[in-house]
Amino acid sequence: MNLFTIQNKQIWSQAITRVFDDSLGYKLNNKLKSERTCGGVCIVDKGFDELLQHWKSQKGNVIPLLQKTQELRGYLNREDMEAIAEVTGKSPAEIYGVATFYAQFRFQPPGKHTLKVCHGTACHVNGAEGLDLAINTELGVEPGQTTEDGQFSVEKVACLGCCSLAPVVMLDQEVHGRLSGDKLKKVVRKVGT
């Protein structure tokens, strides 16, 4: 192993530790990990192993592998990114760099319910920031975070296409419009019970 490889592994370890440490309120769920390993990288299940094998020799496979892995798991975990690095011949730091560049990728398991707060022009003008504040007050999280109990993930989106109902929040697949902070809190409480 040369010095460059050792430094790459140290950089990867430092970077990924920042993502998965307790400061973000998330620890890897050891129950999801299997005992079987492949080249020192944890392979969680047969579906993921088949995914890796399918994309292994295809050009431009990094982003599709990250996307399909997130579809399978709901998020990207460290072990999966390390396995993707091994299969693609890239360093774990390169895979992590690609994944963090794109906003579509998550590094924490999503909540049972997803709240998407629209911040398009109409929603912004009609009080989207107030909805963010109401969510923070009610759930204790900001956009991009998941509640500690795993019930809600909150996302800030550019536009939900429901401008005549502004401000709008999509809870799972249901659109809630003409919301105030109090109305949104009632919607969240109803789902949370």
Same domain, 54 and 101: yes
Question: Is residue 20 included in any domain, yes or no?
Answer: no
Arithmetic mean of pLDDT, 100-104: 90
Q: Domain containing 56: what range?
A: 35-107
Q: Which pLDDT score is estimated for 57?
A: 87
Give yes or no for a cis peptide into 167 (omega within 30° of 0): yes
Instruction: Answer whether residue 125 is part of any domain.
Output: yes
**pLDDT by residue (tens digit) across 116-164?**
999 999 999 999 999 999 999 999 999 989 999 999 999 999 999 999 9
| Domain end residue (candidates: 78, 107, 136) | 107
Torsions phi, psi of 192, nearest 5? -70, -10
Q: Do 53 and 117 sit in the same domain of this protein?
A: no
The answer on 40 and 100 residing in a single domain is yes
Sign of CA dihedral 152, 175, 168, 66: positive
Task: Tokens 């990094």: give the residue.
Answer: 62
Residues 100, 132: one domain? no
**What is the spatial distance between Cα 128 and Cα 120, in angstroms, rounded to a whole number?**
9
Return all residues near 165 (Cβ < 8 A) that are at least 6 apart.
175, 177, 178
CATH code for position 102: 1.10.10.1590
Closest by CA position to 155, among listed 131, 181, 186 = 131
Assess if residue 18 is contained within a domain: no
Instruction: Examine the domain organization and report whether 118 and 188 are in the same domain.
Output: yes
Query: Does 68 score more than 60 pLDDT?
Result: yes
Q: Taking the complete model, does pTM exceed 0.85, yes or no?
A: no
Cα-based distances in Å from 42 to 26, 45, 81, 98:
19, 9, 10, 20
Residue 83 has pLDDT above 60, yes or no: yes
Number of domains composing the chain: 2
pLDDT at 22: 35
Mean pLDDT value across residues 4-26: 43
What's the CATH code of the domain at 188? 3.40.30.10
- Of the residues 60, 75, 107, which one is the last residue of a structural domain? 107
CA distance 87 to 85: 6
Mean pLDDT of 70-85: 94
What is the predicted pLDDT for the residue at 15?
Answer: 47
Which of 107, 140, 158 delimits the end of a domain? 107
